[in-house]
Amino acid sequence: MSLNVLRGNPVPSWRFVMLLAAFFLPLFTGCTEAPKPDVAPPAKIDGESITFAKASPQLASLILEAAVQREAGAIRLNGRLSWNEDNTVRMFTPFAGRVGSILVQPGDQVRQGQNLALIASPDFGQAQAETRRAQGEIAFARQNLARVKDLHENGVAATKELNAAEADYARSEAEFKRTEARLKMYGGGGDIDQSYSLKSPLGGVVVEKNINPGQELRPDQMVANAPALFVITNPASLWVLLDAAEKDLPSLAVGGILSIHVPVYPNDVFKAKIATISDFLDPVTRTIKVRAVIDNTSRKLKGEMFITADAKSAQGSVVKVPARAVMFQGGRYYLFVEDGEGRFVRREIVTGDSDEGYVTVLSGVEAGKRVVAEGALLLQQILQPRRVVK
């Protein structure tokens, strides 16, 4: 009872109830405790492995898929077509002079030894004159040798004179052979007309012309990186120039056959044979140069066309995992593999090509192993938590 009640002063009933509640409520709340929720023990980390308790709610957020074994698909390379340099020649003049006339134009079919242009060249005239002079000298030396031999046989000429005549004839003969071979190499002969004929050393098609009538030419233009006067090639075969990645090497070999696709002929497949594979990687692009030869007797393909090449993989069957299971960190690829109930191990893998949402794994995981396809990032954060900077 309150003091007012004892004194006979009535207290409003609602105020009395409030006083009783304020007095007894702390007693009731102090005697009861709220139930604590069940908390799963934290994940256990041991090196590259994570182990969860059986009742851990984090297991429900992980989706696992098995690594599967599939037939390796063909690899695809990008490249272009180029003239077959074994059947291509770039023409320069060996003599200085002025262009007199041009006898062929780009697109013309030429045969071996056909004249391409006529050049008025004093240097070529000098070569003609040297041959003619050497021809006269050897004729004189031959007559002199015959005369000295006759005198020597009759006891008039000494042996010393005979030896000198023989040496003079040998020297004249060597000089004549040299000048004659040089003139014959450049197609000269006959009169000294100073007209040099630039001739094609092979049969093919003129694909480039960089020469005009009246143009002054010098033999050092090739050294100065000037364009060739004529470019002639036999387009019956072309080179296929490709850039391959390091991972593509197991599927490439000299003598291997490539399937060539050209955008302008979507329904045609051309075959090419690998001729060479570079022995080093390009330090800038980190690619390997591959060269193949393709038959072009149909003349459908043209130089500098862009192409794609398919090479059948030499790996047979390969292991593939979902692409979303693979993580890239520090220049390396990783994934998490199930290793018992609730236990996951992070493994480094070597990847190959990827297609249709799957990545080829060359090493690091076996077919049939279950990998974490969803939730790998969560495991990575648990394995390597971020450091808090204080």
Residue range 291-327, pLDDT digits in tens: 999 999 999 999 999 999 998 766 667 888 999 999 9
pTM assigned to the model: 0.61
Band (pLDDT 50/70/90 cuts) for residue 193 is confident
**Average pLDDT over every residue of 340-357:** 86
Write the Ramachandran bin of 186: left for phi over 0, alpha for psi from -120 to 50, otherwise beta: alpha
Band (pLDDT 50/70/90 cuts) for residue 270 is very high
Report pLDDT for 69: 84
26 has a pLDDT exceeding 80? no
**Average pLDDT over every residue of 184-211:** 87
**Average pLDDT over every residue of 275-291:** 93
67 has a pLDDT exceeding 70? yes
Report pLDDT for 203: 92
Q: What is the tens place of the pLDDT at every residue in 97-119? A: 999 999 999 999 999 999 999 99
Report pLDDT for 387: 39
Band (pLDDT 50/70/90 cuts) for residue 156 is confident
**Average pLDDT over every residue of 148-173:** 90
16 has a pLDDT exceeding 80? no
Report pLDDT for 2: 43
| 267/81 Cα distance (integer angstroms) | 18
**Average pLDDT over every residue of 61-83:** 86
- If one compares 34 and 42, the residue with the highest pLDDT of the two is 42
Instruction: Give the mean pLDDT of the chain.
Output: 84
Residues 6+ apart with CB under 8 A from 34: none
The domain defined by 46-72+316-383 carries CATH number 2.40.420.20 = yes
**Domains of the chain: which residue ranges?**
1-34, 46-72+316-383, 92-229
* H/E stretch holding 370: strand 370-374
Report pLDDT for 115: 93
Token pair in block for residue 43:
């994940």
22 has a pLDDT exceeding 70? no
28 has a pLDDT exceeding 70? no
**Average pLDDT over every residue of 361-366:** 88
Q: pLDDT exceeding 90 applies to what percent of the chain?
A: 48
202 has a pLDDT exceeding 80? yes
Nearest to 365 by CA among 64, 68, 51: 68
Report pLDDT for 39: 58
Band (pLDDT 50/70/90 cuts) for residue 5 is very low
Angle at 30 between CA 25 and CA 34, to 5 degrees: 110
Report pLDDT for 20: 55
Helix (H, G, I), strand (E, B), or coil: what is residue 332? strand
Report pLDDT for 389: 37
DSSP-derived secondary structure letter, 340: S
8 has a pLDDT exceeding 80? no
- If one compares 188 and 325, the residue with the highest pLDDT of the two is 325
| 263/269 Cα distance (integer angstroms) | 11
Token pair in block for residue 245:
């990645």
CATH topology of domain 92-229: Helix Hairpins (1.10.287)
- If one compares 55 and 80, the residue with the highest pLDDT of the two is 80
Residues 6+ apart with CB under 8 A from 86: none
